[in-house]
Structure 1
Amino acid sequence: MRYIISLVLVFIALASFGQQKTIKVTGRVIDKETNDPLEYATISFINPTENKVITGGITETNGNFSIEIPASVYNVSIEYISFKTVTLTKRKLFTNTNLGTISLGLDTESLDDVVVIAEKTTVEIKLDKKIYNVGKDLTVSGGTVSDVLDNVPSVSVDVEGNVALRGNDNVRILINGKPSGLVGLNSTDALRQLPAESIERVEVITSPSARYDAEGTAGILNIILRRSKLQGLNGALTVNTGFPLQAGVSGNINYRTGDLNFFTTSGYNYREVPGNSLSETRFFNIDRDTNIDEPDTFLNEERDFDRIRKGLNTNVGVEWYINDSSSLTTSFLYRSSDNESNTTNLITEPDENGNLLSSNLRFDPEVEDDETKQYSINYNKDFNDSGHKLTFDFQIENSEEIEDSRITQENISTIELVNTLEKQDRILIQSDYVLPIGEKTQFELGYRGTFNELDTNFLVEFDDNGNITTDTDLSNNLLFKEQVNAAYTQLGSKTGKLSYLLGLRVEGTRITIDQKTSNDFNKKIYTDIFPTINLGYQLTDKQSLTLGYNRRIRRPRSRFINPFPSRSSATNIFQGNSDLNPSYSNVFDLGYLNRLGKLTLNSSIYYNRSTQIFTFIAEDTGDTAIIGDGTEVSVIRRRPINLSSSDRYGFEFTLTYSPNRKWRINGNFNAFQNSIRGDFDGQNFDADNFSWFARLNNKITLPAKIDWQTTAFYAGPNENAQTKSEGLLSVNLAFSKDLFKEKASLTFNVSDLFNSRKRRSVSTTETFVTDSEFQWRERSFTLSFTYRFNQKKKRQRTRNNFGGGDEEFEG
């Protein structure tokens, strides 16, 4: 309904323009020093009495513009990023007018280092984060946000889609700086539904300032979605298809007229995602009463996943510029998915010579419906041009996820019925106040309150020829409530070559766990202080150092603390731990940046000291499950526990080299050592693990202006107290060609070229050893077509910003 009202307002505005005499204003914008045309420069026509923007437009590739406007008197503003704005005051525009050639000069006062880059991903370095402005990354065209993150330095995405930062999977993922329904109840699935083309930039925050939540011991990934503020209608539309069968359409559209800016980012996709897994387990059978060894037994489990993912997401809103200093933005987000997953599970029991003793075929057809609605309002007040501002955000979100399975087993007439219903309500209230003190100092304070309630109902029933009974040992209902109230303050400044940002955050947490099935009620209340320190020092014009410290927390999710088991198979279960406590980390980061002509080096050394860390262990439950013709096999349980401590330290660097305009190479390397210490139930879980990963991205322009990009990623082997995992190699390949005078692009890419993205591991305990292999998604091919209207390919002029100005304190 709100979107319909927005469209009506657009038509009213257009109708009002139609009642006035319209004229055409033309001209050309060029670079003052080089005389090169400036594409994508913004021309705004402003009412000089009310100082309000009436209409406007942008320049073409040759720097020319032609804009129809209502006849009147205007101040004409010509803007381009990193250039000084030119304003033509009180121009009487009553007939068709040519403003001639307008020259813009570089704004040298605010510009540290200007780099001209055409459609390439660029990096901005700030005290508390690195900002990756997502350019034309061919290997993710037609893909998802998960694919984009897998190409960002310091970030890795495993075969199941779990995101890690510097090898640590406890990452806080935000959308536009806030928790979002686009991430949803299951962040992995949600990130695979959001189209890659909707992303403008990704902020990698390894040393978060006090403005951010303390949640996430690895740091924060903040995904910023595209939104234009240019006058008129502009946007881009992408359609894609591929194999295994996939099809999708997505777009981002903006329409700004006067004081209103209407925007939407929407998409629909259909994907078939085949996958597979294999596990081979050897049980060391020891009679616990007599301690006598019995013959070993063997159990193999082979699964094939045939998944169908159908997802719709849309974010529509309107931004109202109330006056020159304040704006109000309202938006509505809707995300819906209709998923199917048919899992064929073959369990076989061989003897020690490999001869088959028994087998069982288990079929699990699961349907899943997800729906998320989120309403947001944002108010922004700028008191002056120096950065003195106040912002207020309110966000309410409702999510629901329903899963239904009807599990059948060979030679067993009873049908297992599994239903999971999750309902989540989240409220966010946030306000931030920024006060500049002089030219180089900035004070900030704010409040954030998050209120989350999750109701999980897990029902297991058995249908025996129409006689349905409920399994009370597995069925359960958990009500999880979490309230976090936080206040923070921070001070940033620059003295000579030294920049600093010092902050303190206080978070009060209240968690209640109401296990209605067992009448078990648990409440936890605690308050924590989280200091942050970020320092920067400019060695030379091209070299700089950063040093960061922050304290972080990892709170257990509801699934981690639900004591009732949920089953992924008849012989493997996951069970939460209601005694799980939060984990705390102290994180140190020392960074070095050096720009050597065509080569840029960005490196850092980091150390993370964590206590009460989460570790997942596998254990023999002592229970058995019946397979095949009545054979009993052991059931393995996986659950989280707290261990005493973890020391993680490592080194990473990113190299960017551009031999010429047609060739660009980017490499990222990360190596880390993780030492875990702790005992649980009389068993020692000490482990020392060294691992690393590397990413190489090579992009070159071939004849006929065809872009060729190859991305290779390798994750080295790693291990903990129970599990050793092998290294993993993945290669992506893509080709792209611009069409229709760069208004459109056609891209073909291959994901996982060698079909090698498989996790192979060996888990060893006192009672069993398991060899396993898992592949979430097999090799895929995608063809995508993007068409841009009034939103041509940008020739960005950006800077590697370090220190200086208010920009370094933005959060």
Structure 2
Amino acid sequence: TVDVNFNFTHQFSKPQQELSFLALISRNNRTNNFVNAIFNNDQSEINNYLKNINESANKETTVQLDYQNPIGKTQIIEFGAKQILRQVSSDYQTYKANSSNSYNAVGGNIFNYDQKVSAGYFSYTLSTPSKYSFKTGLRYEYTGVDAAFINAVKPAFNVSYGALVPSINISKKLASGNTLKLAYNRRIQRPSLQFLNPNVQAANPLNITVGNPNLNPEYTNNLELGYSTFIKNSSLGVSAFVRNTNNSIQSVRDLLGTDTIRTTFANIGKENAYGMSVYSSINLSNKLTLNGSVDSYYAVLDNNLSNISNQGFVFNVRARGSYEIGNGLSFEGFGFYRGGQVQLQGKQGGFGTYNLNLRKYINQKRGTIGLGAENFFGKSITVRNSLNTPTLSQSSTDVRNNLSFRVSFTYRIGKLTNTQTSKKKSVSNDDLKQSGEGGQESGGSAPQGGGQAPAEGQKPRLPILPKTSTSVKDSVGTKKEETNQTVIPQDTTGKQIRDGVKPDQDAKQDSVPAQVPIKKSPIKQD
């Protein structure tokens, strides 16, 4: 994986007036190579082998321009534009062999997928003498998709659509630093390549997966009410939220013939969520800080095409601690557990993840050297899933190898001034639906270790995040983090709430989903 970033910010003499240009080029090349052994019905001997080789390349280019200008001391206007170009190529071949291991090609193709997203936004912020703050904005996005197979046994497809995304955030500063906030915004999530790829993944002929190139994006309306308070050197945040998602992308399974399960994806209709979140940060001393969050919601999924629905509770728990040892040396730990996720036709099991990081500042905090370890008590994470419909029942176990050790080095070049609050900016592309069964967002990796800790006041990036409301700017524009602030209360995802503006998590997608070797009996998969 290669990432090249370019960030330029010009700060005018007028406080808070600035112009920024950001660019990101990211390329990921990957080769998946595995062999499946196909047993007979009683699993006493191997009938044949299936081998799959998938060479893929994923290139993403992003450019964006942002401008903000204060009007007096109580108003700010912001506007900008962004362009995302995604180019993906997947060369896959499937081979079959009998017990003598003599392989013959039985299928393959080259799939090219290009996506272009163009967006522009405008937002207006007003602060009143009565300590109210209002921020409203509007964003327009236009998406074009061109995809085709080199061997044109399957038709090419072209899709284009536009979306208008509004947001409004209202906050009231109360006595003693307490804050009450009400926010509404709309969010668009485009299907990622895993959901669109029409290639039939048939490494296991009794359990095939095929994407749906006709998927539409899903749209989510978010409404959230939050309250935050400070108690001495600690903070507490509580929020309640409602989410309504139309065209929700979910996995759908059916039976082909008498012994083959087919998994595909569809815009099932509606997904509603009603939940609460609690976050707390405790500074036990000048050196030791602990924070954590718990969020839970009740999900209801309804399919407009057939009489299928499902519902249930979902919860997530996060905890983080940091300790300043001294002489520029610090230690940090992070843990996360995600409970079971509700799917249209079943449930995806929960799992946990954790990491530890040791960091050393050098040259007046211009650079860091770090060591990190992730999930070092075991080599893998196990997720158990279940599927139940009137026509079939399936259970599966997903094992993810997630043990890692990291060494990192970072160094900042340039001079920072104290004339204005310095802001760190980076490209944030979170517009794609995350991978995962049943359309549930999943990931499985803890925040990147290696000692590169987040900036002060910033939480580590989390492995799994429920969909939440976003500001107009941050969904298409710049991700901002203050570098000289105290701990800020968090929302349901653990991200900072800053006057109703919520930065989104970066999202990277695999080019084409890898096939996982599965040993399978005709109907039930263990």
Query: TM-score band (shorter)?
Result: 0.5 to 0.7
- The runs of 5 or more residues in structure 2 that have no matched partner are 40-44, 414-452, 457-482, 490-497, 504-526
Q: How many pairs align?
A: 421
**CA-to-aligned-CA distance 1:608-658 (integer Å, 9 cap, x gap):** 1110101112332227xxxxxxxxxx3322221111111112111111233
2:273 is the counterpart of 1:648: yes
Q: Give the Cα separation in 2 of the matches to 1:677 and 1:568.
A: 31
Equivalent of 1:693, from 298, 316, 325?
316
Equivalent of 1:765, from 370, 389, 394?
389
What residue identity is the alignment partner of 1:798? Answer: Q
The worse-fitting range, judged by mean Cα deviation, of 412-421 and 591-600 is 412-421
Residue aligning to 1:577: 212
What residue identity is the alignment partner of 1:491? Answer: Y
2:226 is the counterpart of 1:603: no
Q: Give the Cα separation in 2 of the matches to 1:393 and 1:735.
A: 30
Q: Give the Cα separation in 1 of the matches to 2:396 and 2:501.
A: 47
Equivalent of 1:510, from 112, 134, 144?
144
> What SS does the aligned partner of 1:595 have?
strand
Residue aligning to 2:15: 386
Q: Give the Cα separation in 1 of the matches to 2:375 and 2:63.
A: 40
2:173 is the counterpart of 1:549: no
> What SS does the aligned partner of 1:776 have?
strand
Equivalent of 1:586, from 189, 209, 221?
221
Q: Following TM superposition, by how much is the alpha carbon of 1:531 offset from its aligned partner in structure 2, in angstroms?
A: 0.7
Equivalent runs, 1:400-415 vs 2, <5 Å:
400-405=29-34
What residue identity is the alignment partner of 1:640? Answer: F
Q: Following TM superposition, by how much is the alpha carbon of 1:420 offset from its aligned partner in structure 2, in angstroms?
A: 2.0
Q: Give the Cα separation in 1 of the matches to 2:408 and 2:23.
A: 37
CA gap of 1:402–1:653, structure 2 versus 1, over 3 A, is: same
Residue aligning to 1:558: 193
What residue identity is the alignment partner of 1:384? Answer: S
Q: Does structure 2 retain, via aligned residues, the 8 Å contact 1:735–1:749?
A: no
Q: Following TM superposition, by how much is the alpha carbon of 1:575 offset from its aligned partner in structure 2, in angstroms?
A: 0.8
**CA-to-aligned-CA distance 1:748-787 (integer Å, 9 cap, x gap):** 9683658895323322233432333333237x69698999
Q: Give the Cα separation in 2 of the matches to 1:444 and 1:708.
A: 38
Equivalent runs, 1:630-641 vs 2, <5 Å:
634-641=259-266
What residue identity is the alignment partner of 1:671? Answer: S
Q: Give the Cα separation in 1 of the matches to 2:286 and 2:355.
A: 22
Q: Following TM superposition, by how much is the alpha carbon of 1:470 offset from its aligned partner in structure 2, in angstroms?
A: 3.5
2:127 is the counterpart of 1:494: yes
**CA-to-aligned-CA distance 1:17-46 (integer Å, 9 cap, x gap):** xxxxxxxxxxxxxxxxxxxxxxxxxxxxxx
CA gap of 1:565–1:710, structure 2 versus 1, over 3 A, is: same
Equivalent of 1:777, from 401, 408, 413?
401
Q: Does structure 1 retain, via aligned residues, the 8 Å contact 2:36–2:203?
A: no
Equivalent runs, 1:220-259 vs 2, <5 Å:
none
2:55 is the counterpart of 1:421: yes
Residue aligning to 1:672: 297
Q: Give the Cα separation in 1 of the matches to 2:192 and 2:487.
A: 37
CA gap of 1:599–1:400, structure 2 versus 1, over 3 A, is: closer
TM-score (norm 1): 0.45
Equivalent runs, 1:18-29 vs 2, <5 Å:
none
What residue identity is the alignment partner of 1:443? Answer: I
The worse-fitting range, judged by mean Cα deviation, of 448-457 and 512-521 is 512-521
2:110 is the counterpart of 1:485: no
CA gap of 1:409–1:466, structure 2 versus 1, over 3 A, is: closer
What residue identity is the alignment partner of 1:454? Answer: V
Q: Give the Cα separation in 1 of the matches to 2:408 and 2:7.
A: 34
Q: Give the Cα separation in 1 of the matches to 2:368 and 2:27.
A: 37
**CA-to-aligned-CA distance 1:718-756 (integer Å, 9 cap, x gap):** 4334223455456767899999xx999998968365889
Residue aligning to 1:798: 485
> What SS does the aligned partner of 1:541 have?
helix
Q: Give the Cα separation in 2 of the matches to 1:540 and 1:508.
A: 44
Residue aligning to 1:476: 109
Q: Give the Cα separation in 2 of the matches to 1:745 and 1:396.
A: 25
> What SS does the aligned partner of 1:532 have?
strand
Q: Does structure 2 retain, via aligned residues, the 8 Å contact 1:399–1:423?
A: yes
Q: Following TM superposition, by how much is the alpha carbon of 1:564 offset from its aligned partner in structure 2, in angstroms?
A: 2.4
Q: Give the Cα separation in 1 of the matches to 2:57 and 2:159.
A: 22
Q: Does structure 2 retain, via aligned residues, the 8 Å contact 1:679–1:686?
A: no
Q: Give the Cα separation in 1 of the matches to 2:102 and 2:331.
A: 61
Q: Give the Cα separation in 1 of the matches to 2:371 and 2:406.
A: 6
Q: Give the Cα separation in 2 of the matches to 1:788 and 1:392.
A: 21
Q: Give the Cα separation in 2 of the matches to 1:709 and 1:504.
A: 39
Residue aligning to 1:445: 79
CA gap of 1:569–1:531, structure 2 versus 1, over 3 A, is: same
Q: Give the Cα separation in 2 of the matches to 1:376 and 1:738.
A: 23
Q: Following TM superposition, by how much is the alpha carbon of 1:553 offset from its aligned partner in structure 2, in angstroms?
A: 1.1
What residue identity is the alignment partner of 2:225? Answer: L
The worse-fitting range, judged by mean Cα deviation, of 720-729 and 533-542 is 720-729
Q: Give the Cα separation in 2 of the matches to 1:412 and 1:760.
A: 26
> What SS does the aligned partner of 1:386 have?
coil
Q: Does structure 2 retain, via aligned residues, the 8 Å contact 1:568–1:574?
A: no
The worse-fitting range, judged by mean Cα deviation, of 691-700 and 444-453 is 691-700
Q: Give the Cα separation in 1 of the matches to 2:309 and 2:255.
A: 20
Residue aligning to 1:434: 68
2:256 is the counterpart of 1:621: yes
Provide the aligned C-alpha RMSD in A. Answer: 4.4
Equivalent of 2:338, from 715, 718, 740?
715
Q: Give the Cα separation in 1 of the matches to 2:265 and 2:162.
A: 24
Residue aligning to 1:524: 159
CA gap of 1:414–1:481, structure 2 versus 1, over 3 A, is: same
Q: Give the Cα separation in 1 of the matches to 2:15 and 2:60.
A: 35
Q: Give the Cα separation in 2 of the matches to 1:665 and 1:656.
A: 6
CA gap of 1:664–1:388, structure 2 versus 1, over 3 A, is: closer
The worse-fitting range, judged by mean Cα deviation, of 768-777 and 478-487 is 768-777
- Share of identical aligned residues, percent? 20
Work out which of the two has the higher radius of gyration on C-alpha atoms and give 1 or 2: 1
Whichever structure has more strand as a proportion of its residues is: 1
Q: Give the Cα separation in 2 of the matches to 1:421 and 1:782.
A: 26
